Amino acid sequence: MSEATPFLFGRNRLALVAVMALLALGLAIRLYDLTDLPLDFHPTRQLLSELKARGMYYQGSSALPDWQRRMAVQQWKSRAEVEPEVLEALVAFTYRFTGVQLWVARVYSSIFWVAGAFFLFLLVRDLVSPDGAVTAVGYFLFLPFAVIASRSFQPDVLMIMLVICFWWMVRRWADTESWIWAILAGLVGGLAIYVKFVAAFFVIGAALGAALGAFGARLMRKPQIWAMTALGILPASIYVYYGVVQQGFLGRQFSGRFIPALLVSPLNYLQWATLANSAAGGLAIALGLLGLLVIRDRRARVFVVALWISYLVFGLFFDYHVATHDYYHLPLIALVAVSLAPLASLAMSSVARSTRPPLAQAAVYGVLAYAVLSAAWEARSALNAEDFRPEAAMWAQLGDRLGHGPNVVALTQDYGARLAYWGWQNANIWPNSGDVDYHEARGASIGFNELFSRLSTGNKYFVVTDFAELQRQPQLRAVLGEFTVYAQGDGYIIYDLQDPVTQ
């Protein structure tokens, strides 16, 4: 199945040693600055999970005053249940031994990404060559965006690990036609979809690619295909039935993921490409696509092409999110890693045919080491660029000023998640300009006067912490100027909605 003669890592044992060194360094860089607050990457999504995990833990604990315990549970249960709370439950369980520590989730996510890198090595080693596998792992682990994103508290990292594991297992099944591999692949694929539904695109695509490459039109006559399908859809189907039919909360989450008008919007495709390039690297994506041209094994080529088609279908379905949420491109990083391997393997094989192979081999080792270390240093610099720890005290002070009561409206970061987590303060959230754009893209509109009346009636305070957003909303700024300032501090200002400015 190899694409070229191995050059750097001709023996599997040498390749495994190299990968283990990369995995150790990859985990180490992710654990750097471990105790900083989770505000470096999509804090809205991370704090959603942090609030849920904290509420789960404190539900059965007596470590807090009763009002805080009730609020922690309420903040957990009132937040949107987008996916099954798998990672949150694992983190909450770990809090029994560590206490509520924000770094717990970061450790789990880092381990999941590094484990995914190991499954990537196993996949690409069989699919291409040991040389290509080590190169793919290096890219997957040390791409700066991947380092930052893979530390985040969200289900995407666990999903990526399970998806890559499924890719390896389904390829093993296609090569061996073993019932063991079919069952394992079905279970892992089903778990990936259960953790986050978007995994279905990459699980189904990989399964079809492996089956078509191995069996062609005969794939429907394979009973193992049907067994994998049943195992794959069962866990998520049970959750969907529970969330849509019995509880009803999932129907709201599924709405708004696909906006038909965006399919014919050139700007949306440009934004999609921009985010994809920022996540996976434009040059790496281009080289990955070139890698498709040098895959000589038909089975491998069909498999990798099917993965690319899966990503395109996924992007067309989630047309709004792939243009606005960079973490929706995390699967692309795994896909590009696989696609880079054939080109890297071919290049190294060409170098092996030079007139002085030992010297060429040493040079390539040096180039790869430089690439890994420089990428790791760039990621370390990004992690070290800002210290978010002082923010916790500001939000705690703000919560004390507001009194932890239910009578607050807020124009604040992360839909009030920072205020809720460190300030122990719930709030009615005033929409930002991005929310307005989103509703307009869906054909809806937000009437200012009606919204302000609805949110302000019965509430005492309007707190602003996102001053850049306030500048983008001159109508709100003008209306708030009609009320007295109750309090202000470093990073916030509180208006008293029950005390208008006298003329």
Domain edge (last residue) among 384, 406, 427: 384
What's the CA angle centered on 474, arms 483 and 447, to 5 degrees? 90
Q: Is residue 7 situated within a structural domain?
A: no
Stretch among 80-84, 96-100, 191-195, 427-431 having the lowest mean pLDDT: 80-84
The pLDDT score that the predictor gives to residue 502 is 75
Return the residue matching tokens 């770990």: 94
Do residue 94 and residue 205 come from a single domain?
no
* HSE, side-chain direction, 13 A CA sphere, residue 464: 21
Report the Cα 201 to chain-centroid distance in Å.
Answer: 15
The pLDDT score that the predictor gives to residue 256 is 57
The pLDDT score that the predictor gives to residue 176 is 92
Domain that holds residue 78: 56-102
Q: How many domains does the chain have?
A: 3
Q: Is residue 2 situated within a structural domain?
A: no
Q: Is residue 324 situated within a structural domain?
A: yes
Confidence of residue 12 (pLDDT cuts 50, 70, 90): low
Do residue 287 and residue 372 come from a single domain?
yes
Express as a percent the part of the chain with pLDDT over 90: 74
DSSP bridge pairs for 408: 461
Do residue 96 and residue 243 come from a single domain?
no
Do residue 210 and residue 264 come from a single domain?
yes
Q: Report how far residue 188's alpha carbon sits from residue 162's, in angstroms, rounded to the nearest whole number.
A: 6
The mean pLDDT of the chain is 90
pLDDT at 3 over 50: no
pLDDT at 480 over 90: yes
Do residue 79 and residue 185 come from a single domain?
no
What's the pTM? 0.91
Neighbours of 69 (CB within 10 A): 17
Do residue 263 and residue 170 come from a single domain?
yes
Do residue 295 and residue 189 come from a single domain?
yes
Model pLDDT for residues 51-95, shown as the tens digit of each residue:
999 999 999 888 899 999 999 999 999 987 778 999 999 999 999
What's the CA angle centered on 503, arms 453 and 458, to 5 degrees? 25
DSSP-derived secondary structure letter, 322? G
Q: What is the 3-state secondary structure (H, E, C) of 366-427?
A: HHHHHHHHHHHHHHHHHHHCCCCCCHHHHHHHHHHHHCCCCCEEEECHHHHHHHHHHHCCCC
Q: What is the mean pLDDT of residues 485-500?
A: 94
Higher pLDDT, 244 or 448: 448
Do residue 215 and residue 339 come from a single domain?
yes
**Residue 380: what residue type?**
R
Do residue 215 and residue 297 come from a single domain?
yes
Q: Report how far residue 490's alpha carbon sits from residue 394's, in angstroms, rounded to the nearest whole number.
A: 8
Q: Is residue 6 situated within a structural domain?
A: no
Q: Is residue 93 situated within a structural domain?
A: yes
The pLDDT score that the predictor gives to residue 254 is 54
For β-strands 492-500 and 483-489, DSSP reports them as antiparallel
Tell me the C-alpha to C-alpha distance, in Å, between residue 440 and each of 185, 269, 436, 445, 446: 42, 18, 6, 6, 8
Report the Cα 175 to chain-centroid distance in Å.
Answer: 31
The pLDDT score that the predictor gives to residue 228 is 87
**Residue 179: what residue type?**
W
Domain edge (last residue) among 384, 405, 434: 384
Domain edge (last residue) among 362, 384, 406: 384
Do residue 322 and residue 219 come from a single domain?
yes
Do residue 164 and residue 282 come from a single domain?
yes
Q: Are 351 and 359 in contact (CB under 8 A)?
A: no
Do residue 24 and residue 38 come from a single domain?
yes
Q: Which strand (E) or helix (H) includes residue 468?
A: helix 467-471
Q: Is residue 5 situated within a structural domain?
A: no
Higher pLDDT, 437 or 199: 199
